[in-house]
A = this chain, B = another copy of it.
Amino acid sequence: MRTLKALAEVFSLDFRGDPDTVIDGIGTLANAVPGQLAFLANSKYGAQLASTRASVVVLSAADADNCPCACLISDNPYTAFARITHLFDDGDDIAEAIHPTAVIDVSARIGNGVRIGPYCLIGRNAVVADGAQIHGHCVIGPDCHVGENCVLLPRVSLVKRVHLGQRVRIHSGAVLGADGFGIAFHEGQWIKIAQLGGVRVGDDCEIGANTTVDRGAIEDTVLENDVRLDNQIQIGHNVRIGAHTAVAGCVAIAGSTRIGRYCLIGGAAGIIGHLDICDKVVIGAMSLVTHSIREPGEYVSGTPILAKPEWRKNAARFKQLDAMARSLNALKKTQE
């Protein structure tokens, strides 16, 4: 039973309203029903506050006077809300045991309190540290290390030489440690380069569904601590991503590029190989980074979306841009 007073105490928040108000779920400001807790973190949604049916709203002190119901007050309502959500999460569905169908190599070491779901494979010299949860159908290959309290949702592959820190969470379908894309062209055909490195993932990282992180050619591919990867991201071999960087879905980062700390990479952006991106860089959605970036800030490529007839006539001029610039310069000279 979660009451307003209990939440205020657990999260060290001030509150207004009946301390015994019971909260039995989470809703949005617009659609919450009585009994639910909502939040207001963005003034854009302030107009929804007056009419909310939520029983409690998490908001800033500035908004408290306008709240029609009980509230929890935070300097950072979004963070407070983020923390509260976990009270209402029913967790992952996995038994507190190692399922008898898991195939575990005799050389693997399994820690205390580890849970392993049905049909998992744990390979040669793999380590699964204390408290880790490996859901069904995961494949943990040779020389992999799953740190303490990691959670691998169903159907994750750690192919080879993947080292996870603590509390890493990996979603279904992700593949870490597959061969990097290393090939040499010789006399009309491709020769494969063996990929002898691994993948090292720091503490508190999250890796989305169907994301791929290749293992390094010689040295390792590295995600530092608290890197957050959304779904369907491709990280090439020997990439290094700095701590606290967040990457949105479908981003492609080519081999050997280094990305700094506290960067935000927008959805479906691309970064070519062998670049250096410094700390605190923001890349726009679907932008392509083709050179190193040495100054923090926001970077974008591409053109605005237009109705097709408008797009067509303007895009047709793109290939005349250089000629236009030359004509313009010539005209300016004439003018002078």
Contact = CB atoms under 8 A, between A and B. Distances in A.
22 contacts: A28-B219, A82-B182, A118-B119, A119-B119, A141-B154, A155-B155, A175-B209, A181-B249, A183-B206, A189-B204, A210-B212, A212-B231, A254-B267, A286-B288, A299-B311, A300-B305, A303-B315, A313-B322, A314-B318, A324-B325, A327-B332, A328-B328
B209 A209 contact: no
Q: Is the interface of A mostly helix, strand, loop or mixed?
A: loop
Interface of A: 25-28, 31, 76, 78-79, 81-83, 85-86, 88-90, 92-93, 99, 101, 103, 117-119, 121, 123-124, 135-137, 139, 141-142, 153-155, 157, 159-160, 169, 171-173, 175, 178-179, 181-184, 186, 188-196, 204, 206, 208-210, 212, 214, 218-219, 226, 228, 230-232, 234, 236, 244, 246, 248-250, 252, 254, 267-268, 270, 272, 283-291, 295, 297-308, 310-322, 324-325, 327-328, 331-332, 334-335
Contact of A249 (B179, B234, B320): B234
- Count copies of this chain in the complex: 3
A190 B246 contact: yes
A196 B85 contact: yes
A214 B191 contact: no
Contacts of A226: 189-190
B331 A303 contact: no
A129 to B, nearest CB: 20
